[in-house]
Structures are given as structure tokens and as C-alpha cells.
Structure 1
């Protein structure tokens, strides 16, 4: 376990996460996290809205596929804006 945390790349990544530095790696990490959370929310929303009509499994699948369509551009623009504002 000590070898895992003594890795210089991991240490740099964790330092960037703690100090709120937006780099390519931290931006991609937050993009993946936001996409996963939006997929979970879309699946739940699909089940609530159309679960009885078209089936819970199918509505969860459709909701999880369509939810990131609106989230990914917003996250990319938000991270770009944060990066711009942190540099000036």
C-alpha cells in the first residue's frame, strides 16, 4: 500500500485535487464522475417517469443513455471556465 501512495504521479494528482487545480487529468476525472452521476440520475428519472408504461429496465436504460447528453457539454464548459478564471 505504501508503494501505491508513494507514486509521484498519484501524489501529484491528489495534490491537484486538494488544491483545486484544474489540469487535463483532474478535468477528465471530474468529467467521468459527473457522467456516472448523471447516468444514475437519468436511470432513476426514467424509471419514475416511464417505468409502468414501457418497463423499468428499458426506461432505466433509455434514461441513463440520454442523461449525459446534456451534462457532458455543461461540465466541459464549466471546467473550461474554471480553468480560465483560475489563471486570471
Structure 2
């Protein structure tokens, strides 16, 4: 694990990720992080809304599958708008 921080490409990537610099690599990382968090939130929301009716596991699975459907386009448009505003 320590070897990962000795490569200059990894150091530059983590620095740009921590600084909030938006490039194609950091946008993909933020998109993956936001998708994972939306899946967790969708699973919790599905369990709260329909857990007793259709079962907790099934409602969590449906919530986790349907939550990113609305989140991914919004995040992509938001990151694009931030990148556009940063450049102008």
C-alpha cells in the first residue's frame, strides 16, 4: 500500500482529487462514489417505504437499483456545469 504513494501519477491524482480539481479522472471517481452512496440511500429508502409489504431484502434491492437512475444524470450534469463554470 505504501508503494502507491511513491508513484508521481498517483500522487498527482490524489492531489487533484483532494484539491477539487475537475478533470476526466476525478469526474469518474466522483461519479462512482456518488453512485455507490445513492445505492446505499436507495436501499435504506426502499426498506423504509416497502419493507413490511414486499420484504426487506427485495425492497432494498429494488431501491438500490432504481436510485442511481435519477442520480447519475444529475451528477453528470452538475460536474459538467462545474467544469464549464471553472473554465470561464
Which structure 2 residues correspond to residues 5-84 of structure 1 after superposition, within 5 A?
A: 5-84=5-84
RMSD value over aligned CA atoms?
0.9
72-81 or 12-21, which deviates more: 12-21
For structure 2, which runs of at least 5 residues remain unmatched after alignment?
none
What TM-score, normalized to structure 2? Answer: 0.95
In 1, Cα distance between the equivalents of 2:19 and 2:87? Answer: 14
Correspondence for 2:87 = 87
Post-superposition offset of 1:14 = 1.1
Q: Secondary structure at the match of 2:20?
A: coil
Alpha-carbon spacing, 1:58–1:2, altered in 2? closer, same or farther (3 Å): closer
Count of matched residue pairs: 88
What TM-score, normalized to structure 1? Answer: 0.95
For structure 1, which runs of at least 5 residues remain unmatched after alignment?
none
Runs of at least 4 residues off by over 2 Å: none
In 2, Cα distance between the equivalents of 1:50 and 1:35? Answer: 22
